[in-house]
Amino acid sequence: MNTSETSSNPWGHRIGLAVLIILAVVSLLPIWIAVKTAFTDTGAIYTSASSLLPKDATLFNFQRVLGLANPADPRLAKSGLGKIDFLRALLNSLIFTTMVVVPQIFFSAMAAFAFARLKFPGRNLIFFLFITATMIPGAVLFIPNFILMKELGWLNTFQGMAAPYALMTPFSIFFLRQMFLGTPAELEEAAHIDGAGILTIFFKIMLPLHTGSLATLTILTSIAMWNEFFWPFLIGRDPAVQVMAVAINSFRTQSAAGTPDWTGLMACTVLGIIPVALLLIFFGRKVVESIQFSGGK
Within residues 138-167, the interface with other proteins by CB under 8 A covers 138-141, 143-148, 150, 163-164, 166-167
Q: Which stretch binds other proteins (CB under 8 A): 14-22, 63-71, 80-88, 208-216?
A: 14-22
- Cβ at position 74, least distance to other proteins in Å: 23
Q: At what angle do helices 262-296 and 10-38 cross, to 10 degrees?
A: 140
- Cβ at position 72, least distance to other proteins in Å: 29
Nearest CB to other proteins, comparing residues 64 and 268: 268
Considering only residues 53 through 72, tell me which ones interact with other proteins, judged by CB under 8 A: none
Considering only residues 242 through 261, tell me which ones interact with other proteins, judged by CB under 8 A: 244-246, 248-249, 252, 259
C-alpha to C-alpha distance for 238 and 241, rounded to whole angstroms: 6
Nearest CB to other proteins, comparing residues 71 and 194: 194
Out of 10, 19, 80, 204, which residue is the one contacting other proteins (CB under 8 A)? 19
Considering only residues 73 through 132, tell me which ones interact with other proteins, judged by CB under 8 A: 103, 107-108, 110-111, 113-121, 123-124, 126-131
CA angle 270, 273, 279 (to 5 degrees): 140
Residue count, binding to other proteins (CB under 8 A): 112
Other beta carbons within 10 angstroms of residue 68's beta carbon come to 11
C-alpha to C-alpha distance for 263 and 55, rounded to whole angstroms: 12
Nearest CB to other proteins, comparing residues 208 and 297: 297
- Cβ at position 239, least distance to other proteins in Å: 16
- Cβ at position 18, least distance to other proteins in Å: 10
Q: Which stretch binds other proteins (CB under 8 A): 55-63, 73-81, 182-190, 208-216?
A: 182-190
Nearest CB to other proteins, comparing residues 25 and 72: 25
Q: Exposed/middle/buried for 117, CB within 10 Å: 0-12, 13-18, 19+?
A: middle
C-alpha to C-alpha distance for 297 and 288, rounded to whole angstroms: 15
Contact 96, 232 (CB under 8 A): yes
C-alpha to C-alpha distance for 255 and 80, rounded to whole angstroms: 8
Q: Which stretch binds other proteins (CB under 8 A): 75-83, 153-161, 197-205, 209-217?
A: 197-205
- Cβ at position 10, least distance to other proteins in Å: 12
C-alpha to C-alpha distance for 80 and 259, rounded to whole angstroms: 7
C-alpha to C-alpha distance for 241 and 139, rounded to whole angstroms: 23
**Nearest partner of 75 among 61, 54, 56, 57, judged by Cα:** 61
- Cβ at position 199, least distance to other proteins in Å: 8
Q: Exposed/middle/buried for 106, CB within 10 Å: 0-12, 13-18, 19+?
A: middle
- Cβ at position 71, least distance to other proteins in Å: 27
